[in-house]
Structure 1
Amino acid sequence: MLVDRFGRPLTSLRISVTEKCNHRCVFCHREGLLNYESESELGAEDWGFVANVASYLGIRDAKLTGGEPLVRRDIVEIVREITGNGLSTSITTNGSLLDKYAKGLAEAGVDHVNVSLHSLREDVFKAITGGDLKRVLQGIEAALQYGIRLKLDFVVLTWNKDEVADLVEFASKRGLEVNMIELIPLGVDAELYKRLHVELRGVEEYLEKRAVKVEVKEFQSRPVYHLDNGVKVTLIKGFCNPELCARCTRIRFTPDGKIKPCLFRNDNLVDARPYILSRDFHGLVEAFKRANSLREPYFKVVTR
């Protein structure tokens, strides 16, 4: 297993398989990606090779993101390739195409799926995402039909902060987990960020009142609230949070095969594409090692 110079093991990949998306979320940070040519997106077998090398290095799991990963017509094959090469694989999706791919993803062995559900009101959902709430709800039901474990991602905004309790009840009725996420300013216009951002203390107080147990995940020190209705809610405060950075065990891949050690930086990418395309196992191992050597907490504890 690779360990960086801050003592953080590398156990997880976050793979952006495409920058394309059929939603237009007002707060999208595009995984911190720089522009790239869409024709250079890696194929399913390429990602299988990446997973094979990652597994050799002790990495255990991969999260597939975008853009919207389900706009890739070969998304089921991508999942099959990665799981077949030893990594537990999950997906973050806006859910609008989930009904189309749920059966295939279940058969390919997806571990779980995160669905972005930022409002239960059609007009608010449309304003936030540009998408159709009904399609997302259909996707959720389809995934449940095929036994896929689901988590809901809810970015708390001024537009939807009054829906926290409603979302928790929605999750309770369907046996779902929830991630309550603080908005970060990455990729968001400064004035829009000021209008949308909500400090999560009020959400924390609500969760504390309803919690029968609170635990802290090893990954990024995320607090998990076990509520009185059976729902597990994870609170994710990723900006200006040195505790989260100190416990980060992840690196990222761009759709064209560059390794990105941190969401918030683009000045230290490692180009692994040549090694992936040529199936150079040793070369990709060394690229992982270089990227790991560049990992460092973005937010650090300030001492005086």
Structure 2
Amino acid sequence: MTPITEVEGRRLALSNLEKVLYPATGFTKGEVLHYYATIADVLLPQLRDRPVSFLRYPDGPDGQVFFTKNVPPGTPEWVTAAEVPRSEGPARMVLVQDLPSLMWAANLVTEFHTPQWLIGAPGEADRLVFDLDPGVPASVVECCEVALWLRERLAADGIEAYAKTSGSKGLHLTAAIRPVPSERATEYAKELAVEAERAMPRLVIHRMTRSLRPGKVFVDWSQNAARKTTATPYTLRARPEPTVSAPVTWEEVENCRSPNSLTFLAPDLAPRLQDYGDLLAPLLAPDQAGALP
């Protein structure tokens, strides 16, 4: 029998709570739901008003993994949805605006992916993002070196960057910016990626060609495009272990010495929040947004 629980007045059917989703650690679906409930205060502000793409893995990372962009069948009527313009025609997508919606989505077993714009202004970027992706044998250690360079370069333009792990093997840099068309944000990000490659030619590549990437850090600037999404801060990832896209301090980035030094699992996040608070809170403060030159 599927247990029914009430979250802020909404009734939810939460299923298969004992199911092991991460065999490497025995992490269950119930623990996934507990993680998202625990982290809701910092995750929800990052999700709110941004249409969500779900990467679902209902049988764990080793099972079927698939993207869901449109409102899934069976979505409760109280979950907010909005029409989102697309080149191929408008789509209806979910907005995770509150704790009941978050727990409903978590019950689907999902990574959360969001664009760099808000639903009130589709295609107007209020975030800038760089996805630093290491090509073997490069690792997060090299990503940190590139991140420090990009941080200084952005600061020179009056833009303050914040770092988080991808939850996979790389690093994400993100910044709050005054809204500009996504095309302009993409153009600016590409300019900086090209600059980084010129400054560190043995370490950085800005082109997507996979044959060029071994041993280098691919600075992916393309996720600023309006149609693209990035793993939302604090989301779990569909990896062998319940890794999290976790915010990190610049001191941690500077001291990164081994490929595993910036890997954080779901149980690590509550203690980190106690120690550091929400490291990405400044992204939510409009008065701290930088202006693209």
Q: Structures share a fold, TM > 0.5?
A: no
With structure 2 as the length reference, what TM-score do the two structures score?
0.30
